[in-house]
Structure 1
Amino acid sequence: MLAGELSYEDGLDALTVASDADAALHQAVAAAADRLFQAGWQPAELYRVVARLGDPVQAQVVAGAAGRYLAQFRDVDPRWQAQVEELPRNTVRADRIRLHDATLGLLLELRKLPRIDTLIPPPGTIAATRYRGRAIASWNGCGPFWPRPRAPISRPRRRRSRPRPRS
């Protein structure tokens, strides 16, 4: 259906009677979330973008996908982990058909999102495994992003001003 072989309504009807539809949708959302998190998206950003679309079920699916993605990794940047923990979960109760409908719509929207600049290293990257307030990789002892220390720039001497005569 996502490839365009079926219409949206026909695909939704096929999913409601398929026994393995839940697992297939779960796997498709996990793959889309994995792609976006590796492409620079943070959990809070992705949640906000999806929540602005107006469907709270889709936002809930994103929050669950972010939590499951995070659970795969042991050593995670604490900022990334805090974002996942702050996402609201289980705020909307949805039946199976509504959940399938929301998930299909979500998958179509997630396909449109571009790669963005990475501000916080996602779980599973080298930078995240070394982050604990220390340098990630130090080539000069000053940290990964700072230039090599140089001698301080000397300031020009201030000339003492002569006291003005009082009149």
Structure 2
Amino acid sequence: MASVRERIRAVVTGAVGYESGLDALTVTPSTEVDPALVGALHEALAGLWRRGWQPVEVHRVVARRGQPQQTELVTDGVAAYLRGFDRSTVDQRWLAQVETLGARIWWSDDTGYLDQLAARWRLDRVAVLDLVLSLLGILAELPPVEVLVPPPGSAVTPAGRPGADGSSRVDTRLLDRVRALLAKAESTTFPAEAEAYTAKAQELVSRHSLDEALLVARGGETATVVPFARRIGVDHPYESEKASLLDAVARANRCHTVWSPELAFSTVFGFDADIDAVDLLYTSLLVQAHRAMARDEPPGGKAGRARLKAFRQSFLVAFAVRIGERLAAAARAALEQATTGDDGAGGGDPADLLPVLASRDEQVRETMRRIFPRTVRARGSRVDSREGWESGRAAADRAALPESGR
């Protein structure tokens, strides 16, 4: 007779039908089923961490493909996995995601975990078994991805990156100032104030990035600095339009992106300081876009549902296109300031700076080609609403950006 673990594996792999497999588990004593099912879940998650997945990424994919309770199972699985490691061996980025998810051991022991879940969720035992078993199926479908953050137990100082935690070269105080400025830009109802706050935030990250490149150009860079990659989640709905906005922000900040729609994230390639800026600015611009879209969109309801969808999609397409135009212009202005001294910092020799920027861009592209040797150019999103297109461009023109960006 097959063991419980073998039955679970057969269901997950499709060797037996899901319903018949679930029925078999429900009539098997809980003392046999529960340890096997919880163990299978923990092993599945551990395998994903070793194959490059990070906690928030698995949480996001499960939220898209599964049930709300299954994201809680992922969070609990993260907490259970982490307890087996000394915190000194866990990368700070991994720990930050654990904190973001609020992962903690709340149950008394693993043997009673499923019973405590049933009480917590007020569900019967069969429903809980169904949630865990179907989650195992979702996790089994996830392919390996590039290891961008070392899993717990293997944290080391990544080559070419300064901190033991793999943190950015950007001073944390600078990032705190940028975040505070963007928070004010997102919360104010006055466009002029939002523009002033975001302009200052853009100025801070722009000066840092170009100063870093100038340091290299002048021969003052002693540490070996290499490009890196970070996966940034792109949530539904309108994922492709949001991915286009992220790409526009990335290109203007000397980064490149690869959009993985089936996995709900884009991989952003660049140097740490630039990726930090992309992450912060994209998040802020997305908030501004949603706020403007909600203000301008036509009424919904059954009759206007199709019109509303077309408006939102067209709005986001136009917003991304126009933001890309504005950011590209801002990037050119920032480079001109850095090489002529118009920013009051003394400037730099363009004959030195431009080759360094070109070399850095080639390093970023090479990193992207190594991780994604084959990519397919995505088709552009359709624009079915002229009203949405015009409103989106107008909102992009109002979005808080400096006249001289990165």
- Report the TM-score, using the length of structure 2 for normalisation: 0.32
**1:30 and 2:42 aligned:** yes
Within the alignment, does 1:79 sit opposite 2:93 as a pair? yes
Q: Between the two structures, name the one with larger relative contact order (CA 8 Å, sep ≥ 6).
A: 1
- Give how far 1:104 is off: 1.1
- 8 Å CA contact 1:135–1:144 kept in 2: the answer is no
Which residue in 1 is equivalent to 2:81? 69
Distance 1:135 1:83 in 2: 13
| 1:115-134 superposed matches below 5 A | 115-127=144-156, 133-134=163-164
SS state at 1:63 partner: helix
Check conservation: 1:60, 1:88, Cα contact below 8 A: no
How far does residue 40 in structure 1 lie from its aligned partner after superposition?
0.8
Q: Which structure dedicates a bigger proportion of its chain to helix?
A: 2
8 A contact 1:57–1:99 mirrored in 2: no
Query: 1:63 and 1:135 mapped to 2: Cα distance?
Result: 22
Following the alignment from structure 2 to structure 1, what is the Cα–Cα distance between the partners of residues 124 and 100?
A: 25
Determine whether 1:18 maps to 2:28.
yes
C-alpha deviation, 1:17, in angstroms: 2.4
Distance across 2 between alignment mates of 1:69 and 1:61: 12
1:106-142 deviation line (CA, Å, top 9, x unaligned): 11111111111222211122527xx992498xxxx83
Please tell me whether Structure 1 or Structure 2 has the larger radius of gyration of its CA atoms: 1
- 1:38 Cα deviation from its structure 2 partner: 0.7
Percent of aligned pairs with the same residue?
41
Q: Deviations over 1:64-121 (max 9, x none)?
A: 1111111111121122012112215689714321111011111111111111122221
Unaligned 5+ residue runs, structure 2? 1-10, 107-116, 167-221, 228-348, 352-406
CA distance in 2, matches of 1:86, 1:135: 17
Question: Displacement of 1:156 after TM fit?
Answer: 9.2
Q: Cα deviation per residue 1:10-29 (whole Å; 9 max; x = unaligned)? A: 11112122221111111111
Give the corresponding residue for 2:258.
Answer: none
Q: 1:53 aligns with which of 61, 65, 71?
A: 65
Q: Which runs of 4+ in 1 moved over 6 A?
A: 89-92
Q: Deviations over 1:33-88 (max 9, x none)?
A: 01111111110010010011240121111111111111111121122012112215
Partner of 1:103: 132
- Provide the residue aligned with 1:41 in structure 2: 53
Give RMSD over aligned pairs.
3.2
Per the alignment, residue 163 of structure 1 pairs with: none
Which one of the candidate residues 1, 16, 27 is aligned to 1:6?
16
Which one has the bigger strand percentage?
2
Q: Which amino acid aligns with 1:62?
A: V
Q: Which residue of 2 aligns with 1:161?
A: none
Aligned residues: 145
Give the TM-score, by structure 1 length.
0.72
